[in-house]
Amino acid sequence: MPVTSLFSLFRSRGWGRQSEAQLDVLYLGANTTTTATVAPTAPYNGMVVHLITFHRMLPGAFKVTVSQREVGVHTVQLSSDLADVSFWAWVTDADPLLVTVENRTSWPGYIGATLATINFDTLEQMRNIRSQATEEFGLSEGTLTPGPAESSARRG
C-alpha cells in the first residue's frame, strides 16, 4: 500500500490528529550543515511524520536529509523553490527525527519547512494503531520506509 493511501486510511479511520508544524532555519552560514533533532511535544507523545514541504529557499542551494533509527536515511537535493520530501516515520522522544539541512552556497541562506504529522496522545495509542494497521492491511515494515529519492517535486 503506497504511503499516500496509508495516510488516507488513517484520516478515514480517525486515527491520531492531523497537524502541520513549522520549522524555520532563519539563518544558515555559507557551506554549513545543521541538524535538528525533532520530537513530539505536549500534549502528544508520539507522531507520524509523513511529509516535509520546504519553501522560501534558493533552488539548488540546499540538500536535505531526514533520518530516523527505524526508517534509515533519506536525502533529497532541493531543486525547486517549493519541494516535498515524502516518507513515513513513527517518531517518539526515544526515536526522534533528524532533519539535516546543508547550505551548499558560499553565502548565508534561509529555508522554511512545514512538517505534516499525525499526532498521538500516548505511546500506547500509537503502538496499538500501528499494530492494528499492520495486522488489518497487511502492512510490512517495508511499506513504512521512505519514499523514492525523486519525491522532491515542483509544485504551484
Partner 1 sequence: MAVNAVIRVLTGGIKITDARTTAGETKIIHSNTSGSPVPTTIDRSGRVTSEE
Query: Which residues, other chains included, contact 83 with Cβ-Cβ below 8 Å and sequence gap of 6+?
Result: 53, 54, 55, 76, 152, 153, 154, 155
CB of 101 to partner 1, least distance (A): 8
CB of 66 to partner 1, least distance (A): 13
Between the alpha carbon of residue 28 and those of residues 37, 98, 112, 122, 142, the distances in Å are 16, 17, 11, 35, 34
Residue with smaller CB distance to partner 1, 119 or 152:
119
Residue with smaller CB distance to partner 1, 9 or 23:
23
Residue with smaller CB distance to partner 1, 28 or 133:
28
CB of 132 to partner 1, least distance (A): 23
Q: Is the dihedral of CA 35, 155, 81, 77 positive or negative?
A: positive
List residues binding partner 1 (CB under 8 A): 19-29, 32-42, 44, 47, 93, 96, 115, 117, 119
